[in-house]
Amino acid sequence: MPFVVQALLCDTAAEGVVKVAPVSVVTTSTSGSTVLTAYIVFLSIMSEVFAFTAIGLIARWGEVFPRGVPFLRGRRVPTKAAVIPAAAGATILTLLFTVLFIASEIRGTTIRGDDLPAGSPSQATGWEAAWFYICYAPLILCGPLLAVLTVAYWKRRRVAERMAAAA
pLDDT at 30: 53
Kindly report, residue by residue over 8-19, the tens digit of the pLDDT.
666 666 566 555
Three-state secondary-structure class, residue 76: strand
pLDDT at 135: 74
Maximum distance among all Cα pairs of the chain, rounded to whole angstroms: 67
**Which residues, at least 6 apart from 152, have a Cβ–Cβ distance to it below 8 Å?**
1, 57, 58
Residue 23 near residue 43 (C-beta atoms within 8 A): no
pLDDT at 25: 46
Its pTM stands at 0.72
Count Cβ neighbours within 10 Å for each residue of 64-102 and write b for 16 or more, e otherwise: ebeeeeeeeeeeebebeebbeebbebbeebbeebeeebe
List per-residue pLDDT tens for the chain, 167 residues long. 666 666 666 666 656 655 555 554 444 455 556 776 777 778 778 888 888 888 888 888 888 888 888 888 888 889 999 999 999 999 998 888 888 777 777 777 776 777 777 777 767 677 777 877 777 777 788 889 889 999 999 999 888 888 877 76
| 51 strand-pairing partners | none
pLDDT at 33: 67
pLDDT at 7: 64
Report the candidate in 106, 109, 97 with the shortest Cα–Cα distance to residue 139.
Answer: 97
**Which residues, at least 6 apart from 111, have a Cβ–Cβ distance to it below 8 Å?**
99, 100, 103, 104
pLDDT at 84: 94
What end-to-end distance do the CA atoms of the chain give, in Å? 28
Domain count of the chain? Answer: 1
Round to whole Å and give the CA distance between 57 and 53.
8
Give the structural domain span for 68. Answer: 2-166
Residue 95 near residue 146 (C-beta atoms within 8 A): no
User: How many other β-carbons are positioned within 10 Å of the β-carbon of residue 35?
Assistant: 11
